[in-house]
Structure 1
């Protein structure tokens, strides 16, 4: 008798476990349906292999999440409370909570571009009323609970029939194949740089697809990118509305961008020409780049958009509205740039409207800059109609000077530096002095009625560690000079805070006569008036900083954040300011919502 009771108990538990597996599989299917909401922000594949990956990845990921949820929440209860009525009710409630959490995560992801984490949860909690509309947040959980109770009872009553069909092993095999093959496909896509697959890396929660690029490179296997097919992207609208522009007069424009140019280094000893030029023209003393490296700094300058947009597929084909409208207005566009910088940007269409004059870097960045200046001067002398030129100089990025360059005397840095930093500091000054000479040579032949803009692509910290430079978002890395020479306009200092995002709206309205609201095509406002925003977004989607009035918040893609004082010298033990950060995250998704 005792043995029979034990056997009955084992049979009941076994039946409950079988039921639990099928209940988990059913919830995996529901999770896949809810998970399609993530794709509205990322977009759908444009190639057949993209669809294959998305299909197997979706089946594998959400089935895996459902099974893990079952293993953690329901399986222990099956052993502790092996009573079907209790277990079915508890399972339905737990499944409802998990699906509601997943649904809430899709809302947060659509609004902020990140999954739930402590940072995103704090933002979402502060912005709850805006995220949850009407009574759906009450009706939806009730509807899901009813569905879960119905499914739980349906499966329990038919679990014996289902078991006799011997489908379990086939389902497990299908899910296992999908899960493993999604990782194998991603390994290939990562090595071959297949954007139609890798752009889904962070679309689903708790997704960590396998990569093998370093392994393949160490074995001498090179990734060869496949043809990407159409670069058209329907999920992001840029610009939001057709632009209405009518240039009254064709002012020539010269935009000079200098890699790694710090504001505090423009002084009479290091850069005497540029220092004097800032005194004679409009100088923006509190100006910030949109990033701490070339691709984010240049993207923010030419597109006027946050770096979080820079990986969007549309920018593989959509050139900046700034250069497009200069071209439409009959301007000749010339680009003078080192060869490595030309290929460094993530937005492949950034320079499409220009005629490029590419400088070779075989003898270093400084030699390439000499070529660029010579190319510009020759090109400029041949122009008969209106023109827009972008000259990009790179020597300071590599602390470089040409062979035989006679530099300036070394000086003591204003701040305490380590011995290795002192060497880099003074070498950096030599490089800036070389650049200063090139600015003087370029501008000597440029007429006074030309609109000239000189700025840094990003700032510079004194380190040879590239990883440290990439992750550093302090003012030294992002605060740059901005000087504008307006034809027939007096000089002056602008002391309110400005950023790279403001250059596009300024040129579009002041030179091209565009009447659209600047929010149609930019995150910035006209530089000639203070911005209403009390923050500046600096960085990309992986790590970024929010510069506010009295503090700087640095956030990584996992939602971990640190808050520093405005000079980045002291870490502040405080919580983030949710209202402003909500505005920031909304701006980073605004172009997706129309």
Structure 2
């Protein structure tokens, strides 16, 4: 009798488990229906490869999410309370909450381009009225609950018939194949940079597709410079918002000297005497911020004039910056002078340039000297007008040529650790070397040349590249911005805050006579006028900081955030400043087609 009771109990649990598996599978299908809203935001694929990958990855991903919800929240209750009525009601409630959460995530993703996380949840909660319009947020959960209860009861009554058909194993195999195949295809797509596949990387919540690049790098395998497919995907980014209207009267030569890792606070008389004096004689923006702490994010903001959240836009793998497009249209010769190991991201950023690379073997200082020689040769033979971007890299690696006689060491104004003191003074030697090279370039320019001298990014004193990559302190992003306008008396010290995003509007309006508002192609106003924004976005789409008047908020790709004081010294125990951050997220979606 006891054995029979145990057997009845085991049969009941077995039936409940079987019911739970089918309930999870069908909820995975419902999640796919809800998840279609993500595709309204990012756009549908236009190739068989894209559609094939999208179908199998969608089936695999949402089925996996549904099974995880079942495994964590429903399966334990099946063992603890093996009573069908209780379990059906409980499972329907869990499924309803899960689908509502997914539906809410689609709304947030459409508005901000981000999935739910601690940061985004706080932000969305503050902006709840704007996100949830009408009464659908009341009616929809009730409708989903009715559907879930109906589904739970329907399956319970038919679970035995379904079990007898023995289709469960086939469904498991199908879902498993889709899940594994989607990751294998993504490994190939990531290695070959097939945008029809990688375009969907961030589309779904909790999606972490397998990649191949780290494996390739560990074996020393390098991809080609340009993996772009011949046919660009359908445009999802409207950049610029309207056609450019530019009518320039005169077309001066333009030289932009962009120095990697050039801190603003060390452009002084003892370290960089020429540049310090040049800044006093021209337009010097004393509170200037780069768009990022790395080469890619800094150069992206300098040339595209967009905040770093756009740096993963697939369109920009095929579309060069508005600035270089307009310069080319006006007949400018465009030349880029950098080292051969400089790889752009996004890939189209240097497409309009004639690129002249210096060889890089052991010393960036030697490479910089070669870049300058290449620049001198190019400008000597270029037809006017020309636009040249001279990228110097020595300070990033604290490099100077062998035998360089530099400057005496000094005490840092800030407290440094012993190892940092060594790096600080070696960095100053490198800056002094670069200062002499800038002097030789500027003093031999043709008359009437517009000159822009700035840092691609700032510098913190560390040999740890991982620490340097995630540090978004003012030391890493405060850079000089010095502009010489030809044929003008422009000695002026600008005290308001400016960013790299403001350089392109300044050149297009002041030099090329463009009448479009800066908002058509930039995330900021021209350098020539104070910005009406109370915040600055610094970083890329993975980790970024929001600089405000008295605090700095750092957010990573998982939505974790920390708030520091204005000098990055002290971590503050406070909540996000929601109104400004809502503006940040909206700016990050403003140029996308909806």
- Range that drifts further, 533-542 or 10-19: 10-19
Shift of 1:163: 2.1
User: For residues 547 and 152 of structure 1, what CA distance do their matches in structure 2 show?
Assistant: 50
User: For residues 462 and 86 of structure 1, what CA distance do their matches in structure 2 show?
Assistant: 61
**Cα offsets for 1:155-182 (capped at 9, x unmatched):** 2232232222211111111112222233
**Equivalence for 1:351:** 350
**Equivalence for 2:249:** 248
Describe the SS at the equivalent of 2:341.
helix
CA contact (8 A) 2:450 2:484 kept: yes
**Equivalence for 2:402:** 403
CA contact (8 A) 1:41 1:235 kept: no
Shift of 1:322: 0.5
**Equivalence for 2:181:** 181
After superposition, the Cα gap between the structure-2 partners of 1:561 and 1:248, relative to the gap in structure 1 and judged at 3 Å, is: same
CA contact (8 A) 1:17 1:75 kept: yes
Q: Is 1:273 aligned to residue 270 of structure 2?
A: no
**Equivalence for 1:70:** 70
CA RMSD of aligned residues (A): 2.3
Q: How does 1:161-180 map to 2 (within 5 A)?
A: 161-180=161-180
User: For residues 307 and 400 of structure 2, what CA distance do their matches in structure 1 show?
Assistant: 32
CA contact (8 A) 1:43 1:234 kept: no
After superposition, the Cα gap between the structure-2 partners of 1:257 and 1:223, relative to the gap in structure 1 and judged at 3 Å, is: closer
Describe the SS at the equivalent of 2:591.
helix
**Cα offsets for 1:440-474 (capped at 9, x unmatched):** 11111224422211110001111222111111111
Q: Is 1:445 aligned to residue 436 of structure 2?
A: no
User: For residues 307 and 218 of structure 1, what CA distance do their matches in structure 2 show?
Assistant: 28
After superposition, the Cα gap between the structure-2 partners of 1:381 and 1:188, relative to the gap in structure 1 and judged at 3 Å, is: closer
Shift of 1:320: 0.2
Shift of 1:396: 1.1
User: For residues 220 and 252 of structure 1, what CA distance do their matches in structure 2 show?
Assistant: 41
Q: Is 1:463 aligned to residue 462 of structure 2?
A: yes
**Cα offsets for 1:347-396 (capped at 9, x unmatched):** 11111111222211235212222222222223323344322221111111
Describe the SS at the equivalent of 1:573.
coil
Describe the SS at the equivalent of 2:327.
helix
Shift of 1:421: 1.9
**Cα offsets for 1:416-447 (capped at 9, x unmatched):** 22232222222211211111111111111224
User: For residues 444 and 40 of structure 2, what CA distance do their matches in structure 1 show?
Assistant: 52
CA contact (8 A) 2:244 2:514 kept: yes
After superposition, the Cα gap between the structure-2 partners of 1:398 and 1:3, relative to the gap in structure 1 and judged at 3 Å, is: closer
Shift of 1:87: 3.2
Describe the SS at the equivalent of 1:455.
strand
Q: How does 1:94-493 map to 2 (within 5 A)?
A: 94-211=94-211, 214=214, 228-341=229-342, 343=343, 345-362=344-361, 364-487=363-486, 488-493=488-493
Structure 2 length as normaliser, TM-score? 0.94
CA contact (8 A) 1:46 1:229 kept: no
After superposition, the Cα gap between the structure-2 partners of 1:474 and 1:222, relative to the gap in structure 1 and judged at 3 Å, is: closer
Shift of 1:527: 0.9
Shift of 1:109: 2.1
User: For residues 270 and 178 of structure 1, what CA distance do their matches in structure 2 show?
Assistant: 60
Shift of 1:509: 1.4
User: For residues 338 and 314 of structure 2, what CA distance do their matches in structure 1 show?
Assistant: 24
User: For residues 573 and 581 of structure 2, what CA distance do their matches in structure 1 show?
Assistant: 17
After superposition, the Cα gap between the structure-2 partners of 1:381 and 1:95, relative to the gap in structure 1 and judged at 3 Å, is: same
Shift of 1:76: 3.2
**Cα offsets for 1:488-529 (capped at 9, x unmatched):** 133111111100011111111111222222111110101111
Describe the SS at the equivalent of 1:571.
coil
CA contact (8 A) 2:339 2:360 kept: yes
After superposition, the Cα gap between the structure-2 partners of 1:189 and 1:327, relative to the gap in structure 1 and judged at 3 Å, is: closer
CA contact (8 A) 2:199 2:314 kept: no
After superposition, the Cα gap between the structure-2 partners of 1:418 and 1:90, relative to the gap in structure 1 and judged at 3 Å, is: closer
Q: How does 1:574-589 map to 2 (within 5 A)?
A: 574-589=574-589
After superposition, the Cα gap between the structure-2 partners of 1:317 and 1:152, relative to the gap in structure 1 and judged at 3 Å, is: same
After superposition, the Cα gap between the structure-2 partners of 1:214 and 1:255, relative to the gap in structure 1 and judged at 3 Å, is: closer
After superposition, the Cα gap between the structure-2 partners of 1:213 and 1:435, relative to the gap in structure 1 and judged at 3 Å, is: closer
**Unaligned runs of at least 5 residues, structure 2:** none
Shift of 1:572: 1.4
Structure 1 length as normaliser, TM-score? 0.94
- Range that drifts further, 448-457 or 285-294: 448-457
CA contact (8 A) 1:306 1:588 kept: yes
**Cα offsets for 1:229-273 (capped at 9, x unmatched):** 423342222222222222132232211111111001111121111
Shift of 1:113: 2.6
Q: How does 1:29-48 map to 2 (within 5 A)?
A: 29-45=29-45, 48=48
After superposition, the Cα gap between the structure-2 partners of 1:184 and 1:363, relative to the gap in structure 1 and judged at 3 Å, is: closer
Shift of 1:119: 1.1
**Equivalence for 1:526:** 526
CA contact (8 A) 1:112 1:589 kept: yes
CA contact (8 A) 2:260 2:457 kept: yes
CA contact (8 A) 2:333 2:383 kept: no
CA contact (8 A) 1:335 1:355 kept: yes
After superposition, the Cα gap between the structure-2 partners of 1:463 and 1:46, relative to the gap in structure 1 and judged at 3 Å, is: farther
Figure out how many residues of one structure are paired with residues of the other and give that number. 592
User: For residues 215 and 332 of structure 1, what CA distance do their matches in structure 2 show?
Assistant: 40
User: For residues 13 and 428 of structure 1, what CA distance do their matches in structure 2 show?
Assistant: 69
Shift of 1:414: 1.5
Shift of 1:308: 1.9
User: For residues 447 and 221 of structure 1, what CA distance do their matches in structure 2 show?
Assistant: 44
